[in-house]
Amino acid sequence: MTRYSVLDLSPIVEGGTAQQSLRNTLDLAQHAESWGYSRYWLAEHHNMPGIASAATSVVIGHVAAGTNSIRLGSGGVMLPNHAPLIVAEQFGTLATLYPGRIDLGVGRAPGTDMQTARALRRGMDQTDSFPQDVIELLGYLGDATPDQPVRAVPGAGTHVPVWILGSSLYGAQLAAQLGLPYAFASHFAPAALAEAVEIYRHRFQPSQYAQAPRFMLAINAFAADEADAGPYLKTSMQQAFARLRTGRPGPLPRPVDDITGVLDAGVLGMVDQALQCSVTGTPAQVRESMAALLRRYRPDEVIISAPIHDHTARLRSLEITAEIMQSLGENDEAG
C-alpha cells in the first residue's frame, strides 16, 4: 500500500490571520492522524503574506504536542538559510521530545526572494555548499565520535531521517549519491519529474540511511462531494500561483466561479501546466486521476497539498483523499 501524507504551509487566507492559520494547522493534523495519514510536513518560506509556517521547527513542535502518533517533519527546511548545527539542534530537540516521530526534509532553495535571503544573513556568496551542508547535518544527527569537537546537543545519536527535496535533477542526483530518500516538488514544478525519478532510482547507492530508493510524489488535491466544487476550490491556488509568479504574493485568495474572468489565457495556461500534478473533482474523478498518477510514477509515498480557502472544505478534501488512498491500497493487496 502506498503511504499517504500531508504537506501544509499553514496558509493565511484572505480575510484570515496567521493565528487562525496555525489553529487550523493543528486541527488539520489531528484529523489527518485519525484518517490514516503517515506524515504531516510543514514548509519553510519567508516574507510570504500567505504562509504562516516560516518558523517551521516551532510549528512542528506545536503540532507534535497536539497529536499522538503521526510523524511530523519539514517539507522542507531550506538549508542555505541555516547553519547545519542549528538545524541538527532544532530537530534533535524535537526528536528527543517526540521520539520516533520526527522527519527532516531539506531543500536547496532559499524559499524566498533575494532581499529576504540577505536578511537571513546566510549563504550570499553564491557558493553552492548544499551537498557539504547535508553531509555535515547527517554527521551531527549520527552517533558522535569520541574526538568530535562539535556536537549537536540534543541531536547527536537521534538519527532523524533526512529527506532530500527538489524540483530539478540536482536533488535527484544528490539523494541517489548519498543514499537518502527523495521527495519531488511535483505539486508546483513537475517539468523534470519523470527524468528526476528515473535518475534517482537508476543511480541510487545503498547507504546506512536507506538500502533502496524511496521516492515521494507531491500532489495537489481539490476533492469535494459536489460535481462542480472541486474546480471551484482549485481557483484559490490558481490565483495564488499566478500572483506569486508575477511578483505579487499574498494571502490565499477566495475561490471564484470563473477563473477565466480573473486570469487571462496565457497566465492560466502557465499556471495549469505548473499544477498538472493535481487531482480535482468528485471522489470518483479524484480516484481515477490518483490511480493514473500512481501507475505512471510508482511512488513509495505520496504527499498531499490542499491549499483550499475554506477550512471545512479543506478538511473534506483531505478526508476524501484518504478514503481513496485506502481504497486503492486495498485493491492492490487484493490483486
Percentage of the chain lying above the pLDDT 70 cut:
95
Tell me what the mean pLDDT of segment 147-154 comes to.
94
Give the three-class secondary structure for 108. coil
* Contact call for residues 37 and 26 (beta carbons, < 8 A): no
Whole-number pLDDT of residue 333: 62
Tell me what the mean pLDDT of segment 250-259 comes to.
97
* Contact call for residues 230 and 222 (beta carbons, < 8 A): yes
Give the three-class secondary structure for 13. strand
Whole-number pLDDT of residue 127: 66
* Contact call for residues 160 and 103 (beta carbons, < 8 A): yes
Q: Indicate if the pLDDT at residue 99 is higher than 70.
A: yes
**Cα–chain-centroid distance for residue 126?**
25
Q: Indicate if the pLDDT at residue 48 is higher than 80.
A: yes
List, for residues 289-313, the tens digit of each pLDDT value: 999 999 999 999 999 999 999 999 9
Whole-number pLDDT of residue 329: 84
Burial class (CB in 10 A: 0-12, 13-18, 19+), 314: buried
What are the cell numbers at 256? 471564484
Answer yes or no: same fold for 1-160 and 216-335: yes
Tell me what the mean pLDDT of segment 276-297 comes to.
98
DSSP letter at 79 equals G
List, for residues 111-147, the tens digit of each pLDDT value: 566 777 677 765 555 567 899 999 999 999 999 998 9
What are the cell numbers at 92? 534533535
Measured CA angle at 298 (ends 295, 302), to 5 deg: 105
What are the cell numbers at 146? 569520541
Give the pLDDT band of residue 109 (cuts 50, 70, 90).
confident
* Contact call for residues 29 and 60 (beta carbons, < 8 A): no
What number does CATH give the domain 1-160? Answer: 3.20.20.30
Give the three-class secondary structure for 118. helix
Return mean pLDDT, the chain.
94
Burial class (CB in 10 A: 0-12, 13-18, 19+), 146: exposed
Tell me what the mean pLDDT of segment 84-112 comes to.
93
Q: Where do the domains of the chain lie?
A: 1-160, 216-335
Residues 6+ positions from 284 with CB-CB distance below 8 Å: none
At which residue does the C-alpha cell 538519527 appear?
159
Nearest to 6 by CA among 283, 219, 275: 219
Whole-number pLDDT of residue 110: 65
- Assigned CATH topology for domain 216-335: TIM Barrel (3.20.20)
Tell me what the mean pLDDT of segment 206-215 comes to.
98
Whole-number pLDDT of residue 128: 74
What are the cell numbers at 52? 504562516
Q: Indicate if the pLDDT at residue 94 is higher than 60.
A: yes
Whole-number pLDDT of residue 93: 98
Whole-number pLDDT of residue 330: 76
Whole-number pLDDT of residue 116: 72
* Contact call for residues 242 and 205 (beta carbons, < 8 A): no
User: Does 247 or 101 have the greater pLDDT score?
Assistant: 101
Q: The whole model's pTM is what?
A: 0.94
The strand pair at 104-107 and 162-166 is best described as parallel
Q: How far apart are CA 29 and CA 20, in angstroms?
A: 14
Whole-number pLDDT of residue 122: 56
Tell me what the mean pLDDT of segment 42-70 comes to.
96
Q: Indicate if the pLDDT at residue 15 is higher than 70.
A: yes
